Structure 1
Amino acid sequence: MIRVLPASVFESLNSLEFLNLQNNRLTNIGEDVIENVIDTLRLIDITDNPLACNCDLQWFSAWLNKLKDKDDEIMSKKRSVCTLMLEHREYPIQKLPLQNMGCPSSYNVERVWSTAHTRISSQCLILFIIYLTTCV
């Protein structure tokens, strides 16, 4: 069972669409773990994990709410929850109680996408420059 996901675990999987992390022991999934594949992902199944409701899950909540606008039938059937330890209560991740958790309420999911695009663009530029210098 997986307990921790290292930040670079999905780094080279730039066409990943479906990610099944169901039935593990994950308590947190930071956005740095997913940012390399966020553009291609259509489904992340993290059900049946003991996730803790914390500010690190804001990206996932925002991402799920963005998918909800696409009316994804598969995603609507997968209801991931986290536990807010202070209240001893579970919440759907789409409805994180940010005000109860002390998180900034204005999380911008577009920041994750723009970070991923910038990294890919930089990598392409570096490869192009290397190509030009080797061809000359």
Structure 2
Amino acid sequence: MRIAVIADIHGNAVAFDAVLDNLQRAGVGQIVCLGDAIQGAAQPAQVLARLRTLGCPVVMGNADHFLLTGAVQGGGEPISERQSAVRDWQLSRLTPDDLRFIEAFVPTVTIPLENNQSLLCFHSSPRSFDDIILPHT
């Protein structure tokens, strides 16, 4: 089975639809989302609707956590006025059910593979969704 690992949709339903079309043509049997699904662009509710329809596992990303809490963990960069304004606007577009759906995102997902192997899926690192991954890491 082909597994697609997607991440960093950031509320962009137009781009997400294009990716989903490609995945369908490629014959992907399973999708897992590595987080940062909602915060950032203009279609947060539409992205959530597609994720619900897919029924794929979704990992909590740092931007998803920020959307829910308004806080940055682990000594990240300070929150800008623009980020706060985007968060407020996106929250105004989401329902309580949407927020409960995001709260259900998990820290890691393990996908069983053939030959007693598995795929550990996470945002940033298995330790924390806020770990910074640099090019030389």
Q: Same fold (TM over 0.5)?
A: no
TM-score, normalised with respect to structure 1:
0.36
TM-score of the two chains, using structure 2 as the length reference = 0.36
